[in-house]
Chain A
């Protein structure tokens, strides 16, 4: 979706807010928001792509009005309701619906280290041979899906060159909508800064994006 999260190339945000010796968390609630989000993922009711989509699928003013961890916690609320882990009423009230049985958390303290160490690798066996090879000229498709996509607006329709083939990976655009992993070949594609931003861009600079096969067409 052409949402406010697709920030690459936007102007008007001012200087980067650099902070000397900043803390890992700026408030205790940020740490708890991170922890609750990671712990709830252990239920396996959604995936990282669905999480990202839940964070970004907001009206632009709402997205931009929230801080990073506010986006996380609001997306978690939406996902928990959508996937049936909590009810709308429970979320609004903050207490369990009367008569609900107490669940057993899938993630215990002793399992945290292993869960983080395992992570969520996305490489999968390829179902088809790769369509593109390093060195090949490709064009990013000019499509504007209403759902989740990891092809940013600023690269759409632009001409690039395949730099690396990463193998086949879970296709985020499909996985975000619970349509299965649909592994697709993933490539690092390099675009010159001038191709992306016009003749005033630095002649030697480039931006490289990781794009899946459906994001690309032969040039």
Chain B
């Protein structure tokens, strides 16, 4: 989740590739803007550091674990998810207006942004590449059960599947079902069961036996 990019991997073997056109383009723009005094390179470093290491799906996992353990918090999350999530210190850019959508025995939720790649950054970090892919954006609305199958999830016929297309500035966080066998686990242990995909809706929370694998 918060690991450093492994972009330098092939360089260690002495086969250094020339920079891609995109890399050169970004470098040229950053250099120009720095020379013009339009950006502070240290501010750029701080932004990268934030999203590479500080903000990620562990935030959302703590929100879900709290909702599973604390009925009063769950009520507040239902009433005003933005305020409830802010209690844990998560707020701001691309999470200004949050709504938690709950899975239960009959209902399953899946989040997409067909028009761009809107995603609740404060609780999940930056979206994974597949979330931004044309295939996911195109198919999550017309073939959501087929998409879920590719993630290894066969949704029962009788389940009601609710897809949320994030077309405004409301950001949706899926509250996955609490897995069986997780009774009595601490909030911290519960958070370990909450995967990023389970909060997008492309997966389930892990069973306690799977955790730590």
Contact = CB atoms under 8 A, between A and B. Distances in A.
Given A117-B92, A120-B93, A34 B38 contact: no
A201 to B, nearest CB: 8
Contact of B168 (A26, A29, A73, A186): A186
A27 B160 CA distance: 39
B88 interface: no
Given A22-B128, A121-B97, A13 B134 contact: yes
A197 B142 contact: yes
For chain A, the bracket of interface size reads 35 or more
A151 B138 contact: no
Contacts of A6: 114-115
A39 interface: yes
Interface string B4-40: 1111000000000001101101111111110111111
A119 B137 CA distance: 24
Contacts of A156: none
A113 interface: yes
A23 B4 contact: yes
Q: Which of A55, A91, A209 has the most CB of B within 10 A?
A: A209
B116 A52 contact: yes
B69 interface: no
28 contacts: A8-B137, A8-B138, A23-B6, A24-B1, A24-B56, A26-B5, A27-B5, A32-B27, A32-B30, A36-B26, A36-B30, A39-B43, A39-B44, A40-B38, A73-B22, A90-B36, A95-B32, A103-B38, A105-B38, A117-B92, A119-B95, A122-B97, A166-B97, A190-B162, A197-B142, A204-B160, A204-B161, A209-B165
